[in-house]
Amino acid sequence: MSGGPYPDVSCLSQVILYDQRNFTGQRLAVTSDCPRLSERNFPERCNSVQVEDGVWVGYEGENYSGRQYLWEAGDNRDYGSYDKWWASTDQISSVRAVRQETSLPKVHLHERPGFSGRKVEIQEDIPNLMSRFSLDRFASIRVLGGNWVGYQEPHYRGPHYVLEKRDYNSYSEWGAPRATMGSIRRIRFH
């Protein structure tokens, strides 16, 4: 059931979606990518999430489109309400698992589309790109290793975008409405 550039990671992880807050109401256990939750008889509203294993991305739109929300397994992950994953609405229409990338973490951020302009190489979490590089506008990205999440605001806040090992010629390819990125961090699998 996977679609687009995302590889299928069936049976490697599981996420449970609930239509009500605090893990109540209708529930749906998902173990593989699902481009349309409506086809699984689950409302396109999700108010809480339990990640049993792995790392998952929820999307407001079908077919992995629209605003993205990252859900990670781990001891300190409490997703009892949609505001815990920086959402302003409970709309979730598709979900997919993030495939674990084991190569050394490295990403090149480019100021302009097509991998042009100033280039910044990242190999570690950067809580404030502007403070570190005097730049917070990146229009293309080349992920050479690892899995990353870029945030529009510094200190890992605000809308965020999962970046997997591939080339992103333009910010629209990672789902952003503009080229602003305030912070970036590696996704860690537990």
> pLDDT-derived band of residue 4, with 50, 70 and 90 as boundaries?
very low
Give pLDDT, residue 78. 75
Map tokens 């929300």 to a residue. Answer: 69
**What rounded mean pLDDT belongs to the chain?**
91
Residue 14 CB neighbours (<10 A): 17
59 CB-side CA count, 13 A: 23
Residue 116 burial by Cβ neighbours in a 10 Å radius (0-12, 13-18, 19+):
exposed
| CATH number of the structural domain 106-186 | 2.60.20.10
Q: In this model, does residue 102 exceed pLDDT 60? A: yes
Position with higher pLDDT, 4 vs 154: 154
* Alpha carbons 72 and 56: distance in angstroms, whole number: 6
* Model confidence pTM above 0.95: no
Percentage helix, strand, coil, to 5, in the chain? 10, 45, 45
Domain 14-97 has CATH 3.40.630.30: no
**What one-character-per-residue DSSP string does 109-173 give?**
EEEETTTEEEEEEE-S-BS-HHHHHS--B--EEEEEES-EEEEEETTTEEEEEEE-SSEESSGGG
Q: Delimit the CATH 2.60.20.10 region(s) of the chain.
A: 14-97, 106-186
Q: In this model, does residue 7 exceed pLDDT 90? A: no
Question: How wide is the angle at C-alpha 158 spanned by C-alphas 154 and 162, nearest 5°?
Answer: 95
Q: What average pLDDT score do residues 96-105 get?
A: 93
Average the pLDDT over each of 67-76, 123-132, 137-146, 173-182 and give the range with the smallest value: 67-76
Give pLDDT, residue 13. 84
Give pLDDT, residue 75. 65
Q: In this model, does residue 141 exceed pLDDT 90? A: yes
Q: In this model, does residue 126 exceed pLDDT 70? A: yes
What single letter denotes the amino acid at residue 166?
A: R
